[in-house]
Amino acid sequence: MKVRHNNHGMYARNNFVTLSGLESELRPSSLNSNYTASTTSDMVLSSVGIFTSFEGLPVSVSNPGYVQISGEIIKYTGVNTSTSSLTGISRAQDNTQTGSYSATDIVSKYELNGVSLRRINATHDLSQVDYSKYDIGLDYYHVKVGMSTNGVDRTTGNASSYPELHFSDTKNCGTYDNIPQVGSNAGPKASQNIPFNVLRPNIQALLPQSSTISAKVRTLSGGSIDDTSINSFVDQGFSDISLSSDNYFQSPRIIASKINEETYLQDYPGKKSFTMEISMNTTDSKVSPMIDLDRVSIITVGNRINSKISNYASDARVNSLFSDPSAASYVSKIVRLAKSSDSLKVIFDAYRHSSNDIRVLYRLFRSDGDEQTQLWQLFPGYDNLDEDGEVVNSSNNNGKPDRNVAASTTRDEYNSYEYSAKNLPLFNGFQVKVIMTGTNTSYVPLIKDLRVVATV
């Protein structure tokens, strides 16, 4: 199951994620009468049509069904269609709390796309995913839903000889809009890590003369979605930090979710994934530094960069207007020209780490053309130009610069990049896109002095 989850920070495959609050996509029913917290009598509904089966099989003692009212999950083992009621009631399943409900309160089938939500609203091990088929992105991941746990075993060759269970359809789901949101825990939720590459402390302190404070932080490694060699939850030890400026790390770091802390940090103080140690010193025994603990916080910055394209010349997603998977890109405004041109040149200075890549594309416009149909085109690239600077094969254009530019050796080293496209059909407008990629989120390209020249 693909989960869309912005900036989730679970980029390594050894993460755990806890999903909760996902709801059925099916139209709910409602109670026909009040239902108290202590009762286990038959539950009378306005309609029981969708409740006669559960996970594709008739509801029975051996294949119970589940419904949700407010935050309570209720088990039932039979359906009486003549009285429109659920029978064989067991309350407060999966550590939920019993409640008293009124007539017309919403009753939802606890099933999503043909699979019990008890299997889905659970903790999932991302290492169980087949990564040859399903990847991790900055804003999504996949979970493998266990068909043998949290319900009747529905795996191949199970003891009950029940058919193997799969999702019913390919669909987008997770909520039903007509269900009222109840309480602070309502709605779909997922645990997440906080990924960061830059740390800025915000410590409010009083420093009398002759006193100083200094700090260290102990952090854990975070994964990289396009570098499987970087694992999460590896202790990076204590490192000195500045309390008055940004602190940059050379590899991804995370503040882990509760489920990941409980899984991997049993031997750490408080099972915490982030620790700051502040040292207070004075050379005068009459004064001491003071920290206002009500005004202590940190600001974390996580870079959004990935590397999803292996062959720019052949991957059509790069040329499309909406399907480019690259997370870091700059797109210029459309520039209109007073006179038509047939050549385009892009020039800028850039810092580029060895783990980074920078590709450039353009779109050309004519006054009699449709802007919505103009796709992105890649600049030729130095390895697709002959000794006279002419394109060898336009189908091999890859967006590289006109010459091979070495990676920067320091953050202060900016090298010159130039991209040229000649002998183009006449155009009187253009747009430029710069794609920046990388496998280590701690290193991102930095670009300055961008210029674009159109000539005849």
- Indicate if 297 and 344 belong to the same structural domain: no
What residues contact 214, with CB distance under 8 A and at least 6 apart?
240, 243, 278, 279, 281
Same domain, 354 and 292: no
Whether residue 6 is found in the same domain as residue 99: yes
Q: What are phi and psi of 297, to 5 degrees?
A: -160, 175
Is position 168 within any domain?
no
Whether pLDDT at 185 is above 60: no
Do both 445 and 354 map to the same domain?
yes
Is residue 165 assigned to a domain? no
Same domain flag for 438 and 365: yes
Domain count, the chain: 3
In a domain, 9, yes or no: yes
- 220: in domain: yes
Question: What average pLDDT score do residues 357-384 get?
Answer: 91
Pairing mode, if any, of strands 85-87 and 106-109? unpaired
Cβ pair 61, 79 in contact under 8 A:
no
Per-residue model confidence (pLDDT) at position 158: 92
The rounded distance, in Å, linking the Cα atoms of 110 and 117 is 5
One domain for residues 288 and 341: no
d(CA 75, CA 152): 13
- Residue 338: give its domain's CATH number: 2.60.120
Q: CA 333, CA 20: separation in Å to the nearest integer? A: 42
Whether residue 184 is predicted with pLDDT greater than 80 in this model: the reply is no
> What is the extent of the structural domain holding 31?
2-142
Q: Calculate mean pLDDT across residues 365-371.
A: 81
Backbone angles phi, psi at 327, to 5 degrees: -80, -30
Q: State pLDDT tens for residues 295-329.
A: 999 999 999 999 999 999 999 999 999 999 999 99
Residue 84's pLDDT band, with cuts at 50, 70 and 90, is very high
pTM of the model: 0.88
Q: Looking at residue 150, what DSSP letter applies?
A: S
Q: Find the mean pLDDT for residues 125-145.
A: 94
Residue 352 located in a structural domain:
yes
Q: Are 259 and 19 in contact (CB under 8 A)?
A: no
Within-domain flag for 287: yes
Is 155 within a domain?
Answer: no
Neighbouring residues of 5: CB distance < 8 A, sequence distance ≥ 6: 139, 140, 141, 190, 192
- Using DSSP's 3-state secondary structure scheme, residue 432 falls into strand
Is 429 a domain residue? yes
Work out the mean pLDDT of the chain and round it to a whole number.
Answer: 93
Residues 293 and 356 in one domain: no
SS3 category, 237:
strand
- Say whether both 278 and 348 belong to one domain: no
The predicted-structure confidence for 5-24, as pLDDT tens digits, reads as follows 999 999 999 999 999 999 99
pLDDT number for residue 178: 46
Residues 444 and 409 in one domain: yes
Residues 208 and 116 both lie in one domain: no
- Do 22 and 132 belong together in one domain? yes
Instruction: Of 10, 318, 311, give the one whose Cα is nearest residue 138.
Output: 10
Q: Does residue 334 sit in the same domain as residue 285?
A: no
